[in-house]
Amino acid sequence: MVNRMTKVYMRRLLGQDDARISFGVNVMAARSIFLQRASYFEQGVTMYWSVETMIVFSFADHERMLDTLHPAMQRGNCEIRRFANGELFISVRTPAQMEHCVVLGSVAPPDERLLSLALLSHTLKKDGSRKVTLFLPYLAYSRQDKEKPGESLATAWVGSILQASGVDEVLTIDVHSESDKHLFPISLVSIYPAEIFANTVMKYQLTDATIVAPDNGAIPRCKAVSEALGRSATGIPYFQKQRNETGIKRSDMFGSVGSRVLIIDDILDTGATLISACEKLLQTGATEIYIMVTHGLFTGPDWKKLWSLKVQRIFCTDTVPATKEILDERRITILPIGQLIKEHMALLRDIAVNR
């Protein structure tokens, strides 16, 4: 069945009426509906968009994901370099006029990524691209989503930069919060890899583990994985988290857990959130802990303390390119999201055919 994220995405791309057609069918059936609308009439002339109307540009860090795309999608060619004075310069070698262009990349540090992405998007729109979609597997700056006097609101700032650069929409994997969507001035669509996580739970025989949310924000993620496993999504055990100047203060657990525990969250950065959660879980009697996150940043050395807190294995997707250290760590399992990207890019392509 088409999941909730896909429904929202289709509604935004197609309009309310067209999206409603596909809600009761699977993705393949939905595509056949779209393909029946492959032409339109303008001033008495029938015009057809070929499957090559979607051109995909990728930055170096994400080129590995291009292999998952439909072979009919045209790969864009561009050059990014700097002048002698340090200024960025982009040359687009694939004609973009009246085309739907998709850019696969990142806005995470170093800052050159954001600038290059913005400049490429601006260049494509300047050359007449009818639509520019960014596919950012990991949306950096998404945790700076709280309005506080005297402090930056970087989520809104990034959205404004992208909008000013001609970007029409952003597609990402597991955005940090619903607040991000409200702060973005352009369409922001988030896809959650619940089925990938559920399949991993079954593959590693973790179906008897208690799924735990390390804070309130992770509860919807835990529910999505539970539903994908065919479990009840009610009564997910969770902690309440508060940050202070000395770190993270965590409440006692709401709910009960068994000896085997699976923590599900969106990001493993320095590991502070997960470390404090594991410390509390050990106090409740947990003896075997597994961690499953969408984005593995693995910043600094502190996250390694998890191994001393009964953590047996960490699962994360490949939304963030892994370093050699992470790839060499046998207790970390990288879960490819290529199939997920392929499905949603195919949906984008089929919609482009019918526009």
Residues tagged active-site: 241
Report d(CA 121, CA 339) in Å as an integer.
25
Residue 137 in tokens = 């597997």
Vertex 79: Cα angle to 76 and 83 (nearest 5) = 160
Contact of 239 with 222, CB cutoff 8 Å:
no
Looking at residue 232, the DSSP 8-state letter turns out to be -
Looking at residue 68, the DSSP 8-state letter turns out to be G
Position 91: which residue type? S
| Of residues 134, 117, 269, 241, the one with CA closest to residue 190 | 134
Beta bridge partners of 89: 81
Report d(CA 216, CA 273) in Å as an integer.
12
Sheet containing 210-212: give its strands across.
210-212, 260-268, 288-296, 311-317, 332-335
Residue with tokens 């106090």: 283
Q: How many CB atoms lie within 10 A of CB 219?
A: 18
Cis status of the peptide bond prior to 214, with omega within 30 of 0: no
